[in-house]
Amino acid sequence: MQYRVIVCSCLDASILVGAQCTNMTLMTMEEEVTAAVHPHKKPKHVAQPHWTHLLIDEVGWLLSRLDVMRRH
């Protein structure tokens, strides 16, 4: 979770969604953990999205597969 920009294929993006690594689920988790640790305090800030950009590159994925197939 060190990076804030993701470059992936559609399949990789669906894996992230399945692993609950979307901005919505990460913000919800942050709010729930903060509320559990400090149940009587009102939150001082609104949870911010973790991911800033999602670039889906299907062509790069396809080209890497074709390169592997040509070598065999």
Give tens-digit pLDDT for 9-46. 888 888 989 999 899 999 999 999 989 999 898 877 78
| pLDDT for 24 | 92
How far apart CA 51 and CA 39 sit, in angstroms, is 27
Rounded to two decimals, what is the model's pTM?
Answer: 0.65
Residue 20 gets the label, from left (phi > 0), alpha (psi -120 to 50) or beta, of left
